Amino acid sequence: MENYKKKGDLIPHIYGSVPLVGSWDSTKALSMERESASMWELSFVVPPNHETLDFKFLLKPKHGYMPCIVEEGPNRLLTGGTLQGDARHARLALFKLDNEEVLEYRVFIKADRVSPFDLAASWRAYQDNLRPSTVRGIPDVSINAAPETGHENGSSASLELDLEHYVVPAPSTSANSGLVYAANLAENPRSLTFSGVSGDRPATIKEMEVIIPDPSKVYSGSGMVESKSVGTFSPLQKQDSHRGLFVDRGVGSPRLVKSSSSSTFSFDLKLDSKNKNSMPAAAGAVAAAAVADQMLGPKEDRHLAIVLVGLPARGKTFTAVKLTRYLRWLGHDTKHFNVGKYRRLKHGTNQSADFFRADNPEGMEARNEVAALAMDDMIAWMQEGGQVGIFDATNSSRSRRNMLMKMAEGRCKIIFLETICNDERIIERNIRLKIQQSPDYAEEPDFEAGLQDFTTRLANYEKVYEPVDEGSYIKMIDMASGHGGQIQVNNISGYLPGRIVFFLVNTHLTPRPILLTRHGESRDNVRGRIGGDSVLSDTGEIYMKKLANFVEKRLKSERTASIWTSTLQRTILTASPIVGFPKIQWRALDEINAGVCDGMTYEEIKKNMPEEYESRKKDKLRYRYPRGESYLDVIQRLEPVIIELERQRAPVVVISHQAVLRALYAYFADRPLKEIPHIEVPLHTIIEIQMGVTGVQEKRYKLMD
């Protein structure tokens, strides 16, 4: 009920049919709670076998020595969540005072169907916390609690209109790749390490003398002893005390040992003497699939090379960076090799369009030379244990791709990834970004001159471009906009190639922000207890209101945005004041499962379970709570969330928990797996990730101390 003209100390009540809202005895009427200065409300649950509710409103003086005032008109009938009778009577409650003055109140009715499971969960939450919880937006029971006094800082109006007032510096370790030319984040040529050349200046021909290897002689005499039947030795494996052949099965599996006289494999239990419960760098299905693919397939399938193909300004490097970040996050050892970076370090950044002509033999030889160098480095890294190499170059001719396939023969599996774009607007945008960001044009002060040169370079590539029709390949055709397009695949099999295809289907270049925040401070946070499903503390409720005001201001023009929460009530309550956006609950966003330690403090774990406490302290990434989860388990269940975040074209606000947000943030910031358990995700702080064609940029807002 709402009335803008308060009349003394009259408090709205409800009375009527039992046992829902008291009885027809006005002394047993239920007091409505004050929602705001002019609004009162009462929530109650109607069982399914009670279809009609018969009641009336009344005004009762605060001090009880004055008679109550019952509303005018017939009894109200609430059937199936709808008020029956005259429309005006349903919308208004009229009260006639002794002096013939009439008070008019507006009436609002909101009805939701609730499953018995949700109702039971809501009731349990109330019993645990002795207060209403409104889990999933569902009222628990009718409760006559005294109106809580508002906190001075609790008003949403206290959030200043200038959001920049709340900006705080992001951690120095965060990867603001949007501020750096993406190709510069790729691997450095190994020759620089051996020759002592710094990556800050172009290397000369003398400093980086490169010989294009003969594919038939690659790695012969390199010190690597190859076994035709099982695998390869590494220098580290030669020092091992075991006799027999060691097979490094890649990320997600233990090392396997095969003796010279045995036809079966056994686990190498000495893989990590420091941690007897050693786990792979991936978990669950990722690890199992890696083992299956590598044991059943040929030995070159242990290593995978994704070779980009496409004309300039088609998003190859952008795709390579995103794919590298995704695979690393899943636990696959992945590196990005950009041939353009090799070229600039060897031949400088001032090469004109003539350098890229197909009828320029010196230019062709130089470009093939750096491509061979990059491929040579990538294969050498794979032989040392790397799993997935992303080879980023135009590779626009069949002869160049044949050269790469010969170099990779017997050493890694190649999948060509061709990016095709026919949208002139996207191509023009990418070209302009190229001129603005590429080191190739850093010394060109005239934008139009740079644009003309790059246009000529592009024409040189177009003259000799040959689409991929050989080997295993994935073609992305007009996928950049996120509005349709095609993906064509040929000769693709295995778990990891399948995951790559699935990821690429859901990626696009549409700019949009993703806001990450923890729930408001909970009662368990105050008590220092992990896990649980407690409600918010008083401080958490203040943040709840500030967050709603922030989202309203930040996304006021983004009506297609959505709010994602976990299924735990502290995130649902934090999101409850946010209006105007759909809210989606993900069980995958629930906090890490602490198993038998749920509800304990770390001091209690240390005292009662010292071995578990020490195991977690030694390796937080791989440590799994008894009957609970590890961070690797959390990463695995978050993969569908990452895919859906990539697929979204509108802003998303994710309200979740510390461990979960650490894992999500690590994906966007491209942080190593081992750092995830230690990433700082403070309470009452919003991390804004800006997704777009220029990469990922980060901004943080701290709404409360």
CA 101 to chain centre: 59
Active site residue 89: no
Check residue 427 and give left, alpha or beta (phi > 0: left; psi -120 to 50: alpha).
alpha
Closest CA to 555 of 526, 502, 512: 512
Token pair 């029709």 is at which residue? 469
Non-local CB neighbours of 583 within 8 Å, separated by 6+ positions: 562, 563, 564, 565, 575
CB count in 10 Å sphere of residue 35: 12
Q: How buried is residue 329: exposed, middle or buried, by Cβ count under 10 Å (0-12/13-18/19+)? A: buried
CA distance 485 to 667: 26
371 with 339: CB under 8 angstroms?
Answer: yes
CB count in 10 Å sphere of residue 389: 28
Non-local CB neighbours of 576 within 8 Å, separated by 6+ positions: 134, 137, 544
Cα angle for residues 198, 202, 206 (degrees, 5° grid): 90
Cα angle for residues 645, 649, 650 (degrees, 5° grid): 90
User: Tokens in use for 491?
Assistant: 């000769």
Which among 347, 421, 590, 698 is annotated as catalytic? 421
Which among 13, 519, 657, 684 is annotated as catalytic? 519
Q: How buried is residue 127: exposed, middle or buried, by Cβ count under 10 Å (0-12/13-18/19+)? A: exposed
Active site residue 148: no
Which among 377, 440, 533, 591 is annotated as catalytic? 591
Active site residue 591: yes
Active site residue 392: yes
Which among 140, 293, 333, 392 is annotated as catalytic? 392
Cα angle for residues 87, 88, 92 (degrees, 5° grid): 120
Residue type, 409: E
Helix (H) or strand (E) holding 565: strand 562-565
Catalytic residue annotation: 392, 421, 519, 591
